[in-house]
Amino acid sequence: MIRSLTPSVLALALAVAAAGCGSESDSEAGAPPTSASIACDGSGQLLGAGSTAQGNAIDLWKTTYGSACPHVTVNYGGGGSGAGVQQFNTGKVAFAGTDAALAPAEVDASKQVCTGGRGIDLPMVGGLISIVFNISGVDKLVLDGPTTAKIFDSQITTWNDPAIVALNPGTALPDAPIQAIHRADDSGTTANLTAYFAAASNGAWANPAGKSWTGRGGQSANGSAGVAAQVKQVDNAIGYVELSFAQTSKLKSAAIDTGAAAPVDATAANAATTLAKAQITGTDGDLTLSLDYATKDANAYPLVLVTYEVVCDKGNKPSTLPALKSFLAYTSSDTGQQAIAPIGYVPLPQELTSKVQTAVAGLA
């Protein structure tokens, strides 16, 4: 288990503070990530699919890796966590990205393609879910668990509802219908959001938590990019996306009233505070984490997520295993983790990534 990681939190806070609120374009304007520490191996195509939340991170990583290792081409298709796991369990990709750890039935299914082994979850991309909004004249918004759950379940339908007004004294909220936008595809981001609702809404969210959207009403869009685009285009809209997409689309993010002394802003440093206290609950090489969505710690943003790369612990295809281990060794390295900080992600604590690197080295 991960305990007493205060030095890691400090290191992460310093890293993201140096990066500021940089967007994808900010990263491109600076020096490119170094590829000097990448140990290349294998050749041909390395295929992955799944989580769109990690899409911007994978794009950066595969570009850097490809420059250092020209004999390997990494191709990653989005489609959402559910689609990625499905493709992995039918042998179509060497790894899948998912923002929700494998369910027991998915682990059982993986044994059909992982000869002599099974699929395991390796934490790779730390992030947070921004509650993004587009309200004319409103630059700052505070929400809490019950209010946010009611908005996305169509229990609160106008921006000047008393519950929202009470959280935002002095803010001129319009008497306008709320346009709530959720994911249309099965999504680990949705799974994390609804897990937060289950933990922090005081019963306001009575729907199942999971990858499939079960809330009432609202509009839908495919992928993190689709939700971000819809929120940006639709007046009085609200949605949920990984921070990287909020920054890239220049969308405003709500602060969350967790019960701490002050509302917590959606920043990578605040997410790092929460992620550093995650507990490993996986066994036998699986590194699934338990996240505290109901945290009330100071400067701890509760709506965090971890994207896992799903791989076979044993039974990987010999043709792709060397490249798979090489690529994941880079992405889990300190160099790889720090490279994605400027584009809105949260480098994972070194105590955790060291375990990931050990697992990657042992893949067979």
Q: What is the pLDDT of residue 5?
A: 32
| 137/235 same-domain check | yes
| Domain residue limits at 232 | 129-271
Q: What is the pLDDT of residue 36?
A: 55
pLDDT in tens, 119-147: 999 999 999 999 999 999 999 999 999 99
Q: What is the pLDDT of residue 35?
A: 54
| 138/259 same-domain check | yes
Rounded to whole angstroms, how far apart are CA atoms 332 and 124?
A: 6
Rounded to whole angstroms, how far apart are CA atoms 250 and 241?
A: 12
8 Å CB contact between 180 and 190: no
| 96/27 same-domain check | yes
pLDDT along the chain (364 residues), means of 10: 32 34 33 65 97 94 97 94 96 96 97 97 97 97 98 98 98 98 94 96 95 96 95 98 94 98 96 94 95 96 97 97 98 96 93 96 97
Residue 2 located in a structural domain:
no
| 104/209 same-domain check | no
Q: Which two tokens stand for residue 40?
A: 């290349």
Q: What is the pLDDT of residue 295?
A: 96
Q: What is the pLDDT of residue 347?
A: 95
| 161/267 same-domain check | yes
pLDDT in tens, 197-251: 999 999 999 999 999 999 999 999 999 999 999 999 999 999 999 999 999 999 9
Helix (H) or strand (E) holding 335: helix 334-339
Q: What is the pLDDT of residue 164?
A: 98
| 176/249 same-domain check | yes
- Domains contained in the chain, number: 2
Helix (H) or strand (E) holding 76: strand 72-79
CATH (domain of 195): 3.40.190.10
Residue 1 located in a structural domain:
no
Residues ≥6 apart with Cβ < 8 Å to 152: 180, 182, 193, 197, 215, 218, 238, 240
Which DSSP state fits 187? -
Please tell me the pTM assigned to this model.
Answer: 0.83
| 265/197 same-domain check | yes
Q: What is the pLDDT of residue 78?
A: 86
8 Å CB contact between 364 and 316: yes
Residue 40 located in a structural domain:
yes
How many other CB atoms are found less than 10 A from the CB of residue 137? 8
8 Å CB contact between 240 and 227: yes
Which DSSP state fits 206? -
| 192/106 same-domain check | no
